[in-house]
Structure 1
């Protein structure tokens, strides 16, 4: 019984990982419908872990489960992203403030520095996928440095939708040169222990990012896919 339970858990985790990847990459396109049996066959597993994975991804806003109709991949909604960014803006800005108050050493801030360097290099080569990965690393590390596990949990819960929206708009957005400068300013404020400045600079950065992202979704009507 124990071995069977472990096997089921492992299959569910794999189903979550693979379905999330397929949704974020667009392999499972927004607005499409899929039977559980179809997804199970694609993933090479039974329907039970697929159903359990779908329930988890439904709670993260990536899909909708419909009785007797399987699952529907939800579109990237500009309204949803505005709400999500409103929350992320306040929580991440608080994390930036707390990080500045913590008195971190240069060694403690190495990951933030490295992510900014990676973003700079990505801009130089116009490698937007590499930039997106480094940008995500910066925000994850900033939240971790804020030392609030509940903030980390809430941000993590929303990360899939943010990642998906970014992937949808990445190649039609302006080159994010200003975003790199914003990150650098936040890091400098943290290094200098300027808590209010760190919070406000990050808040302004997130507000601007929200307008860019949601503006693209609305202009190109990507939320109606």
Structure 2
């Protein structure tokens, strides 16, 4: 039976709430939860919660276990290294393709807006606002690349990166270099320099990976 728009909205709300509980660590990695427990926690019926868990399972955040509820997936450092390797290559290709498309300044307005939002967030030392703007930058960059398959793969893996970043957001230095990298990628795309756009984004993602993995190791936040 097809869901009504209202049901879809409730399912989406359930998915976002459960995902945030995972990112915040309130649903700890490796922990098990019954569908009824999650429904009670969210103040929702079990149907949208069930649909939400299936969607989150596709995103790799949890496992649905028939008659046993769900288990929050535990990621290893190897998982994160592999995820970053894929994201680095695909996003760098998207940056290259975006530069080749000859976008006008108006086409790049949302990318520029995300950079400005990150710069303001850093000036205010608002790490959560920076994280939201960082997400917006990477999502828009991939969209501008124009490859729908890259968008699908990156969207699936990006949740794992957000999860790790949420765990390290307040124990890392302010991401000043990250903002410099974003500005350099933007400038290369605006100038139509495809090789430079790819190189700068590739370097940016590699550095971000090194910072993240080192923090996860130092604070023993993930399995080895």
CA change 1:70–1:111 in 2 (3 A) is same
- Could you tell me how far 1:9 is from its partner in structure 2? 4.2
- Could you tell me how far 1:14 is from its partner in structure 2? 3.1
Partners in 1 of 2:216 and 2:43 — Cα distance? Answer: 34
Correspondence for 2:200: 201
Partners in 2 of 1:8 and 1:97 — Cα distance? Answer: 40
- Could you tell me how far 1:27 is from its partner in structure 2? 2.6
1:36-51 equivalence runs, <5 A: 36-51=35-50
Correspondence for 1:214: 213
CA change 1:67–1:95 in 2 (3 A) is same
Correspondence for 1:27: 26
Listed as ranges, the gaps of 5+ residues in structure 2 are none
TM (norm. structure 1) is 0.91
2:76 is the counterpart of 1:77? yes
CA change 1:45–1:126 in 2 (3 A) is closer
Partner secondary structure for residue 71 of structure 2: strand
TM (norm. structure 2) is 0.91
- Could you tell me how far 1:60 is from its partner in structure 2? 1.4
Partner secondary structure for residue 107 of structure 2: coil
Correspondence for 1:86: 85
1:1-225 equivalence runs, <5 A: 5-6=3-4, 8-224=7-223
Partner secondary structure for residue 29 of structure 2: coil
- Could you tell me how far 1:151 is from its partner in structure 2? 0.8
Listed as ranges, the gaps of 5+ residues in structure 1 are none
Tell whether the 8 Å contact from 1:77 to 1:217 is kept in structure 2 after alignment.
Answer: no
Bigger drift between 109-118 and 195-204 goes to 109-118
Tell whether the 8 Å contact from 1:96 to 1:142 is kept in structure 2 after alignment.
Answer: yes
Partner secondary structure for residue 72 of structure 1: strand
Partner secondary structure for residue 109 of structure 1: helix
Partner secondary structure for residue 171 of structure 1: coil
The two structures, once aligned, show a CA RMSD in angstroms of 1.9
Partners in 1 of 2:64 and 2:146 — Cα distance? Answer: 35
CA change 1:130–1:10 in 2 (3 A) is closer
Partner secondary structure for residue 173 of structure 1: coil
Partner secondary structure for residue 146 of structure 2: coil
Partners in 1 of 2:91 and 2:105 — Cα distance? Answer: 20
- Could you tell me how far 1:95 is from its partner in structure 2? 0.7
Q: Deviations over 1:100-131 (max 9, x none)?
A: 11111111111121211121122222111111
Partners in 1 of 2:77 and 2:207 — Cα distance? Answer: 14
Partners in 2 of 1:122 and 1:49 — Cα distance? Answer: 35
Partners in 2 of 1:180 and 1:13 — Cα distance? Answer: 31
